[in-house]
Structure 1
Amino acid sequence: MRAMAVNRAEQRAATRRALLAEGRRRFAADGYHHVVLAEVARAAGVTKGAAYHHFDSKAGLFRAVVAEVQQELGERVATAAERHDDLWEQLRAGCRAFLAAGTDPAVRQVLLVDAPTVLGWDEWRALDEESSGRHLAEALAALTAAGIIAEQPVEPLVRLLSGAMNEAALWIARGGDPGAAEQALDRLLAGLRTPA
């Protein structure tokens, strides 16, 4: 009896993973408004009923995909930052990793284009703040505490930098020059440093 329960739980988890993977692929390639949940289910090899059971609606599947992509982006930013010991280089590396993510179709279409309109600004911002926004806030707080940037309230600075980087990532996603964006970012960040 217990083995059957475990097997059913594994089956449910596999169904959910398949729907998430296919949903992510389609949302990234086609955009939210061109995706049909029944087609996602069919391509994932499950019934339409199973898709509704796991996600309740296309919007529910999209919300789960956004959360997954946002979490991965936050991890990508943190991993890039953690490769450096120097706090300033951690900030630069994390910001650059965020900008580079603009070339990823899932980040571009799902997070930058569709999520703000489909989920609404407040929900999208909350998801952003839980992942990459949190890392940016931690980095700026550490730099302020170390005296590398001037003492100031961190929250407005996080919002200004986050907004600028979201716009730059979207610009890169639409064909902007990543190298030019990185140079502009370095000049912007340099303005935050306290004089040596």
Structure 2
Amino acid sequence: MQEKRPRRTNQERSDTTRTELMAAARRLFIERGYADTATPDIVVAAGVTRGALYHHFEDKKALFAAVAEAEAEAVADEIEGATPDDMRPREALIKGGEAYLAALALPGRTRLLLLDGPAVLGRAGMDAIDNRHGTRSLRGGILFAVRAGDLPQNLPVEAATQLLASAYDRAALSIETGGDPAEYRKGLALLIDGLAALAG
């Protein structure tokens, strides 16, 4: 006798629909870019109704924001995974930066987070997402290194966070267009070591 499958709850069906919409949207945003992706195309690719899309997301921009948030969270998770708590702060900054570059090498991620993200959501909107994820990890790593004496005690943490984040983003963009990842990893490590040397 065949066992009956348990019926899915409304919440499970809703979660599945949202996941399918985000996966379809991510794929199309990467292939075509935000501007050239229409909501009817997303609906068809996800295999759901137009009403289902607008039940979960106010509009295409809100759907893009959800995709960008999920990508930023995945990047932060990879950074956290590469920097265990028992790692020295200086080494954690370097390894975290390497993990960031590796995470951004996933096809489409640089476009989503560094190109279309600021263009679609505005700099402030993308900064808000970054501050919940990757930038938050970097800020925490710098603060930990300052407290441990691996970086200068008078280092302005917020300014250093923004400057290093910009350097990592620029490196990711350059690697995306053919730059040598090893050269950028080396250059960024030397930047951190230069700061560390000032700690005496």
TM-score normalised to the size of structure 2? 0.91
1:122-172 Cα offsets, whole Å, 9 max, x none, are: 110111111011111111111111111111221111011011111111111
Q: After the TM superposition, which segments of 4 or more aligned residues of structure 1 sit over 3 Å from their partners? A: none
Measured in 2, the distance between the counterparts of 1:70 and 1:61 equals 14
8 A contact 2:80–2:137 mirrored in 1: yes
Measured in 2, the distance between the counterparts of 1:110 and 1:56 equals 19
Counterpart for residue 3 of structure 2? none
Is 1:98 aligned with 2:100? Answer: yes
* Correspondence 1:1-196 to 2 at 5 A: 7-82=9-84, 85-151=87-153, 152-194=155-197
Post-superposition offset of 1:86 = 1.9
8 A contact 1:69–1:106 mirrored in 2: no
Post-superposition offset of 1:85 = 2.0
Measured in 1, the distance between the counterparts of 2:128 and 2:53 equals 25
Measured in 2, the distance between the counterparts of 1:46 and 1:88 equals 48
Flag the structure with higher helix content: 1
1:89-118 Cα offsets, whole Å, 9 max, x none, are: 111110111122232123211101100010
Post-superposition offset of 1:119 = 0.2
Measured in 2, the distance between the counterparts of 1:113 and 1:83 equals 32
Measured in 2, the distance between the counterparts of 1:59 and 1:183 equals 37
Aligned residues: 193
Post-superposition offset of 1:31 = 1.2
Structure 1 gaps of 5+ residues are: none
Structure 2 gaps of 5+ residues are: 1-5
Post-superposition offset of 1:26 = 1.3
8 A contact 2:94–2:189 mirrored in 1: yes
CA RMSD for the aligned pairs? Answer: 1.7
SS in 2 for 1:92: helix
For 1:157, the aligned partner's letter is A
1:53-79 Cα offsets, whole Å, 9 max, x none, are: 211211111010001001111111111
SS in 2 for 1:32: coil
Measured in 2, the distance between the counterparts of 1:166 and 1:156 equals 15
Measured in 2, the distance between the counterparts of 1:87 and 1:32 equals 38
8 A contact 2:43–2:50 mirrored in 1: yes
